[in-house]
Amino acid sequence: MRKSIHSAGAAALAAAAAIWTQGAAAQDQPTLLEPILVTEGLTPVEQEKSGRAFTVITGEQLEKDQIRYVADALRLVPGFTVSHAGSAGGLTQVRVRGAEVNHLLVMIDGVEASETSSGEFDFGSLLAADIDRIEILRGPQSAFWGSNAMAGVVNIITKRGSRDGWKIDGRSEVGTDGTFLGGVSLSGGGENYDVALSGAYRRNDGFNISDFGSEKDGGRNTTLNGKVNIDLTPALTVDGTLRYVDRRSDTDPQDFTYGGPPDYLPGPNVGLVIDGDDWTATRELFGSLGATYTSLDGALTQKARFTASDTHRDDYASAYGGALTWNEGSRYKGSYQASYQFDTPGFLGAHHQITGGYEWQRETFTPSHLTETFSRESNSLVGEYRGEFLDQIYVNAALRQDYNEAFEDATTYSLSGAWKVPGTETRLHSSVGTGVTDPTFYEQFGYTPSLFRGSPNLRPEESFGWDFGVEQGFFDRRLVLDVTWFNQDLTHEIATVLGSDFVYTPINRDGKSKRQGVEVAATVDLRNGFTATATYTYLDATEQTSAGGPRLDEVRRPRHAGSVTAAYTFYEDRARVFAEAVFNGKMEDNAYVPSLPARVTLAPYTVVNVGGSFRLNGHLEAYGRVENLFDEDYEEVFGYNTPGRTAFIGLKGTF
């Protein structure tokens, strides 16, 4: 298990990545059986033709359920676990299928969002504002998306403008925890272009995340986003995106105060979270430019894209007179891909598509404790085949070769398939593949030399995984049930050990970590205004400290987890009420308290949220919700409190 609370990330050959969807989550209105496309490879495909385990959450559903942070939407997805240390906007880690945090790749409008220092993406910075859809892929995806897509991908696409005029959207919200939320967006366009601009600001007074004292820990977040698409000719389209996030979150430190010689006895609160004036601030800047050219009557599509990101993080620690540390990282990426599709009517009525691409990437990392900027480059080649046979069998295969400047090259592959059983509401889907995660800059070069020394000879982590699922519709698909079995292992796992010189350093373990389980998802749409969803995940995730050594349960991964949501729309579709419950079973976490075992068990919990909305007229809608309705007292990270019952009311309008 990786000791760092951040992790390492790489990139996506995602120039082609897009999903056009009416919604995969349960909708409040009758479901239209139109094609839903999902980017489960280099190119989009209709959902019924995908062999991978995926979920799509639409922006419309986020709005209806009043979800303000993407991490809270992921709590409702099978296979996902969220660990939130602090108040709203504080450090938030997301794990999928029991993997490490940096094994999940996060993309925002085609730009990899993880920090280069650690490879992790802190979901505490991600407001659910102006999002068109969230595409979620589970299982190894490195053959398409590169390093860090070892266990899955969260691909976020923001809204674009429509080409039939202009509109302004605005909202304002307040909460009993001192929350204020304000947001505005302008979108529209003309015959050959569209533009979308948005801004959101959220602040809150928060609550005391420590069991000591009474100081409240709050935060603020400002997010600005822009997107433009222009058709230069009927065959050539260019697009661009720009995103800026500025946030600050109050935190509390862990107490590691020890007495002096000769005994060096620990203080009474060693290992516990205590009140302090600590804080963390980040500034994120993401941008991209792309072009798409179609020819041969649409049979050939070529795409080129350049993306860039820069993240600066400041950490202030109040202990020992106060200390400010910082790090800054950037990532630049260029990619090209070409797709050609053709039919062979005489051979199983088949349709084929072949895609090839190239990707270049450069990453940099500058820490405050060291005196230089570190950098590394990689080049990648990728190929994909997609085939459709007899209007019922669908296959997808990919092969990728990564050439790394700083460590071992890597080859990954992926194969998936789906079968729509004729004459039934049954669809079988399965995938198998490999994944890699490159060592992080922290792990390669270290951070504080006297405490943590890097290891430049580390190997990338490697993984092999498979899943098999059955999707079954009932009652004209008013009820849809999907059950997926999955299995994935991890080799060359990077772990941190304490050396004989009392300096920590990372190593590759010899053993194999294993993750396996079952994911269940059900949706109900009675087509009379009532909808519901339910998810359940059984997870067996263990780590092996050495080859042949004992196995330990992975921390912060519950064996049992699930959710239930229900909504009802009525009064001529003007009124809506909803409720959701998220269950998290007991799980282990690390403890650094001398009087406790090295690991403690966090108790299971269930959090219930309720809310509703009413459309006042054609332009205005009032809404409200209560989070943690029953004031559940629970922990997602040992020693950190979580928010109690909180109420919110707001008003939004479209003009």
Tokens at 514, concatenated: 């294993």
Kindly state the average pLDDT of the residues 59-75.
96
CB atoms within 10 A of CB 604: 15
Q: How confident is the model at residue 398 (pLDDT cuts 50, 70, 90)?
A: very high
pLDDT at res. 546: 65
Kindly state the average pLDDT of the residues 84-92.
88
Kindly state the average pLDDT of the residues 40-68.
90
Q: How confident is the model at residue 351 (pLDDT cuts 50, 70, 90)?
A: very high
CA 56 – CA 19 distance, rounded (Å)? 9
For the stretch 358-395, pLDDT in tens is 999 999 999 988 778 999 999 999 999 999 999 999 99
Q: Is the pLDDT of residue 140 over 90?
A: yes
Q: How confident is the model at residue 105 (pLDDT cuts 50, 70, 90)?
A: very high
For 442, the 3-state DSSP assignment is helix
**CATH assignment, 37-264+274-295+302-647:** 2.40.170.20
Flag the least confident range among 215-229, 420-434, 449-463, 629-643. 449-463
Residue 547: exposed, middle, or buried by beta-carbon count in 10 A (0-12, 13-18, 19+)? Answer: exposed
Q: Please, are residues 235 and 295 in contact by the beta-carbon 8 Å criterion?
A: yes
Rg of the chain's alpha carbons, rounded to an integer? Answer: 24
Q: Is the pLDDT of residue 294 over 60?
A: yes
Which residue in this structure is represented by tokens 């204020």?
A: 180
Instruction: List residues bridging with 158 in a β-sheet.
Output: 131
CB atoms within 10 A of CB 262: 6
Q: How confident is the model at residue 547 (pLDDT cuts 50, 70, 90)?
A: low
pTM of the model: 0.91
Kindly write down the DSSP assignment for every residue of 158-184, as one continuous string: E----SSEEEEEEEEEEETTS-EEEEE
Tokens at 591, concatenated: 């403890």
Q: Is the pLDDT of residue 583 over 50?
A: yes
Q: Please, are residues 156 and 137 in contact by the beta-carbon 8 Å criterion?
A: no
Q: Is the pLDDT of residue 22 over 50?
A: no
CA 141 – CA 404 distance, rounded (Å)? 18
Q: How confident is the model at residue 86 (pLDDT cuts 50, 70, 90)?
A: confident
Kindly state the average pLDDT of the residues 323-335.
94
Strands 646-654 and 620-627: antiparallel
* Reduced 3-state DSSP string for 199-241: EEEEEEEEECCCCCCCCCEEEEEEEEEEEEEEECCCCEEEEEE
CB atoms within 10 A of CB 302: 18
- The H-or-E segment that residue 445 falls in is helix 441-445
Q: How confident is the model at residue 109 (pLDDT cuts 50, 70, 90)?
A: very high
Tokens at 66, concatenated: 């009043």
Q: In sequence order, what are the residues at sequence separation of 6 or more whose Cβ sits closer than 8 angstroms to the Cβ of residue 298?
A: none
Q: Is the pLDDT of residue 21 over 50?
A: no
Kindly state the average pLDDT of the residues 278-298.
97
pLDDT at res. 260: 74
Q: Is the pLDDT of residue 25 over 70?
A: no
- Specify the DSSP class assigned to residue 77: S
The alpha carbon torsion through 42, 48, 51, 52 (nearest 10 deg) reads 70
Q: Is the pLDDT of residue 492 over 80?
A: yes
Query: Which amino acid appears at position 616 of this protein?
Result: L
Torsion sign, CA atoms 199, 203, 209, 215: positive
CA 334 – CA 12 distance, rounded (Å)? 10
- Tell me the pLDDT of the chain averaged across its residues: 90
497 compared with 464, residue with greater pLDDT:
464
- The H-or-E segment that residue 71 falls in is helix 70-74
pLDDT at res. 371: 75
Q: How confident is the model at residue 12 (pLDDT cuts 50, 70, 90)?
A: very low
CA 655 – CA 651 distance, rounded (Å)? 13
37 compared with 339, residue with greater pLDDT:
339
Torsion sign, CA atoms 59, 64, 66, 72: negative
Query: Which amino acid appears at position 261 of this protein?
Result: P
Kindly state the average pLDDT of the residues 481-490.
97
Nearest partner of 655 among 228, 185, 67, 174, judged by Cα: 185
pLDDT at res. 577: 98
Tokens at 284, concatenated: 């994120």
pLDDT at res. 595: 86
Percentage of the chain modeled with pLDDT above 70: 93
Q: Is the pLDDT of residue 505 over 50?
A: yes
Q: Is the pLDDT of residue 473 over 50?
A: yes
27 compared with 250, residue with greater pLDDT:
250
